[in-house]
Amino acid sequence: MTVGYAFSHETVFADLRLAAMKREREPSSKAYRQDRFENTERAAKETIEAEQRARREKTKRLKELRLAQQSGHDPATK
């Protein structure tokens, strides 16, 4: 009796695994992954561009400050 139960138990799980393998993936999950990938790429690109802008602005401010100090002007009074 125990052997018959074990056999039917294994058969049920084997059938469930087979059904899961045969089932086609939902197209929405692929679309969701694609959207998430594109959003991540866009966010990364925007972050890089923002960092570059900040670096350019900082360089510009430091350059103006250095020039003002060399010419004897106070940049705060501009």
Q: Is the pLDDT of residue 12 over 50?
A: yes
Span 39-76, pLDDT tens digits: 999 999 999 999 999 999 999 999 999 999 998 865 55
Predicted TM-score (pTM) of this structure? 0.49
Dihedral angle over CA of 23, 27, 34, 18, nearest 10: 0
Residue 1: pLDDT band by 50, 70, 90 thresholds? very low
Cβ neighbours of residue 68 under 8 Å, at least 6 residues apart? 74, 75
Structure-block tokens of residue 45? 């690109």
